[in-house]
C-alpha cells in the first residue's frame, strides 16, 4: 500500500513537472517583453498576430509574409476547413533552429532561413495548412506533410521565384518519403485517379477516421497499388 502511495506521489510529481515545463514554454513563447515587435491585423474576421524577437528582421519580408497569409489562409479554410481558427500567430523566433513549425495557431519561423531564402515566402502557405489541418493525430506523417506540400504546390504564391518545384518521379522514391515527393503523387491522384481525393483524405485525417482502408474505399485500390500505377506512368 505504502509502495503504491509513494509511486502515486512520484507519478504526480513527474506529471506536474511536465505540465509546468509546458506552461513555462508557453509563457516564454508569449512573453511579449522579450519581443522586438508585435503587430496585429484583422481582415475579414481573421486576426494575424505577427511577433518577432529579431530586431534585424526585414520589414518588407514581414509585409510579404503577412500578405501571403491573408491571400492563402482564407482560401485554405474555404476549401479544407471552414471551421479553422480565426486567430493565427506568426512568431519570428531566433531560437528556432528548423525552417518553421506550427502547433495549434502558433507558427514559428527561423529568421535565418528567411534571410537566406527571401523568396521562400510559401513557407507560410505550408505552415498555415498545418493550422487548417488541426488533426487530432499527426500520424501518418507522410499524409500530413504530403498534404501541406500539395497545398503549397496548388495554392502557393511564389513557388517559381523561390525555385520550389516538385521533384520528378524516381523508382527509388516511396509515397512515405513525405513532403514534395508525396505531394507530387497526390497531384497525380487528383489528375489521373480521383478528383477531390486530397480533400477527402484531409477530412478523414481531421475526423480521425483515416485508416489504410481509405485508399481502397476511395479508388478500389490499395495505396501500394496506386503507387505502382503511378510509377508506370508518372506524368501529371
Ligand atoms: Zn510541415
Res. 30 pLDDT band, cuts 50 70 90? low
Q: What is the DSSP string of 78-146?
A: HHH-TT--SEEEEEE-TT--SSEEEETTEEEE-HHHHHH-TT-TTHHHHHHHHHHH--S---SHHHHHH
C-alpha dist (Å) from residue 118 to 14, 60, 127, 140, 193: 43, 10, 16, 31, 36
Say which CATH number the domain at 43 has: 1.10.390.10
What's the gap in Å between 226 CA and the centre of ligand 1? 24
What's the gap in Å between 150 CA and the centre of ligand 1? 11
Q: Report pLDDT digits (tens) over 80-118.
A: 999 999 999 999 999 999 999 999 899 999 999 999 999
Please determine, for residue 229, whether its predicted confidence score (pLDDT) is greater than 90.
Answer: yes
What's the gap in Å between 24 CA and the centre of ligand 1? 25
Of 113, 134, 155, at which residue does a domain stop? 134
What's the gap in Å between 7 CA and the centre of ligand 1? 39
Task: Say whether both 121 and 197 belong to one domain.
Answer: no
What's the gap in Å between 32 CA and the centre of ligand 1? 26
What's the gap in Å between 148 CA and the centre of ligand 1? 6
What's the gap in Å between 178 CA and the centre of ligand 1? 10
Q: How many distinct structural domains can be found in the chain? A: 2
C-alpha dist (Å) from residue 193 to 170, 185, 231: 20, 11, 14
Mean pLDDT value of segment 182-189:
98
What's the gap in Å between 183 CA and the centre of ligand 1? 12
Task: Say whether both 153 and 210 belong to one domain.
Answer: yes
- Cell, residue 236: 501529371
20 in any annotated domain: no
Gap between the Cα atoms of 76 and 134, Å rounded: 12
Does 29 or 181 have the greater pLDDT score? Answer: 181
Task: Say whether both 36 and 130 belong to one domain.
Answer: yes
Please list the residues that pair with 40 across neighbouring strands: 49
Considering only CA atoms, which of 105, 107, 109, 104 is closest in space to residue 94?
109
Q: What pLDDT does 36 receive? A: 83
Of 134, 163, 183, at which residue does a domain stop? 134
> Model's pTM, two decimal places?
0.86
Q: Report pLDDT digits (tens) over 124-171.
A: 999 999 999 999 999 999 999 999 999 999 999 999 999 999 999 999
What's the gap in Å between 1 CA and the centre of ligand 1? 47
Res. 60 pLDDT band, cuts 50 70 90? very high
- Cell, residue 63: 509585409
What's the gap in Å between 29 CA and the centre of ligand 1? 20
Please list the residues that pair with 41 across neighbouring strands: 48
Amino acid at each position: 500500500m505504502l509502495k503504491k502511495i509513494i509511486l502515486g506521489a512520484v507519478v504526480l510529481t513527474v506529471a506536474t513537472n511536465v505540465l509546468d515545463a509546458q506552461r513555462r514554454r508557453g509563457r516564454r513563447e508569449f512573453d511579449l517583453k522579450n519581443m522586438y515587435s508585435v503587430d496585429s491585423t484583422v481582415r475579414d474576421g481573421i486576426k494575424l498576430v505577427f511577433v518577432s524577437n529579431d530586431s534585424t528582421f526585414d520589414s518588407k519580408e514581414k509585409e510579404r509574409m503577412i500578405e501571403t497569409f491573408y491571400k492563402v489562409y482564407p482560401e485554405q479554410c474555404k476549401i479544407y476547413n471552414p471551421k479553422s481558427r480565426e486567430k493565427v500567430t506568426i512568431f519570428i523566433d531566433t531560437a528556432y533552429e528548423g525552417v518553421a513549425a506550427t502547433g495549434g495557431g502558433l507558427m514559428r519561423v527561423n529568421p535565418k532561413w528567411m534571410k537566406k531564402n527571401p523568396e521562400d515566402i510559401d513557407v507560410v502557405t505550408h505552415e498555415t495548412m498545418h493550422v487548417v489541418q488541426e488533426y487530432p493525430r499527426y500520424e501518418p506523417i507522410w499524409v500530413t506533410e504530403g498534404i501541406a506540400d500539395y497545398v503549397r504546390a496548388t495554392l502557393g504564391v511564389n513557388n517559381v521565384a523561390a525555385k520550389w518545384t516538385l521533384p520528378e518521379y524516381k523508382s527509388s522514391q516511396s509515397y512515405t518519403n513525405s513532403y514534395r515527393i508525396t505531394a507530387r503523387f497526390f497531384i497525380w491522384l487528383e489528375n489521373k485517379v480521383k478528383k477531390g481525393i486530397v480533400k477527402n483524405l484531409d477530412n478523414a485525417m481531421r475526423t480521425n477516421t483515416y485508416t489504410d482502408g481509405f485508399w481502397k474505399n476511395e479508388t478500389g485500390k490499395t495505396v501500394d497499388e496506386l503507387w505502382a500505377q503511378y510509377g508506370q506512368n508518372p506524368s501529371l
